[in-house]
Amino acid sequence: MSDSVRAPVPASAGAARLLVVCGDNPLAYRLATELLGQRRCSVTVIVRSAQAGMAPRIARLERVRLIEAPELNVAAYRAAGVAAADALALTDQDDVANIHAALCAQEVNPGLRVVIRFGNMSLGYRIQELFPGSVVLSDSSTAAPSFVAAALGNVTQGSVRLPGRPHRTVFVARRADVPPGDVMCGLADTSGRGGPVRLPAPGTPAL
């Protein structure tokens, strides 16, 4: 494992939130770029190889610390500072690998906020129950702003964080992607050709 640093984080950023991104794909690059635009954020990116995929472009980003590790294991996470990190984003498209990576990250930092990219959302919603405070985003709708909001604990347009402890987040999703027991209520009928019909109609009290 090698630890290559493109540019050191300024000393004034010592109190910044540490956000760790895993992946060398376009989403990882966009996410790192977006996070650098946030105030008081320190960004570390773990890649398999500094020469593979988008890793060379990520390495050229200012103030990004690049960690090269063939596997997302305890050693890689410790080298990236996950033990003290505020959030971890798993951007690869391999659902099973992301599950193992998330479990390993929790071993290093049990209170870590984990944002996971998932292709199979039926599995993703079940896995989310294993990681309190985590957010699962569908592979078909992943976008850097959504990952940034999830990593920082902000509410995205497709989710609402409910009060109380433990905190729970409600997501807008297609019924086919969610186990029947996890559906709280219907928001729209999308079966018609004329477009979705929202429920209830504007101005009508929900009963």
pTM, to two decimals: 0.65
Taking only the tens place, the pLDDT of each residue in 53-111 is: 899 999 999 889 999 999 999 999 999 999 999 899 999 988 899 999 999 999 999 88
pLDDT at 188: 72
Between 89 and 123, where is the model more confident?
89
The model's pLDDT over 45-55, given as tens digits with 9 standing for 90+, comes to 999 999 998 99
The dihedral region occupied by 203, where left means phi > 0, alpha psi between -120 and 50, and beta the remainder, is left
Closest C-alpha among 18, 23, 76 to residue 47: 23
Alpha helices for 52-202 (secondary structure H): 55-59, 74-80, 95-108, 121-128, 144-152
Structure tokens at 95: 């659902």
> What would the mean pLDDT of 32-44 be, rounded to a whole number?
83
Q: What is the pLDDT of residue 48?
A: 93
Is residue 90 within 8 A of residue 115, CB to CB? The reply is yes
pLDDT digits (tens, 9 = 90+) for 177-202: 556 776 777 777 766 666 566 665 65
pLDDT digits 0-9 by tens, 140-189:
555 555 666 666 665 444 555 566 655 566 666 666 655 677 677 777 77
> Which residues are CB-neighbours of 60 under 8 A, at least 6 positions away?
6
pLDDT at residue number 156 = 47
Looking at residue 3, its pLDDT comes to 42
Least confident of 118-122, 126-130, 153-157: 153-157
Contacts of 185 (CB under 8 A, 6+ apart): none
Tell me, what DSSP letter sits at residue 69? -
Would you call 21 exposed, middle or buried from its count of C-beta atoms within 10 A (0-12, 13-18, 19+)?
buried
pLDDT (0 to 100) of residue 185: 76
Superfamily for the 2-158 domain? NAD(P)-binding Rossmann-like Domain (3.40.50.720)
d(CA 96, CA 81): 23
Whether 4 shows a pLDDT value over 80: the answer reads no
Domain boundaries, the chain: 2-158
Provide the H-helix boundaries in the chain. 26-36, 55-59, 74-80, 95-108, 121-128, 144-152
- Smallest Cα–Cα separation from 124: which of 49, 200, 182, 76? 182
44/149: higher pLDDT: 44
What pLDDT is attached to residue 158?
A: 54
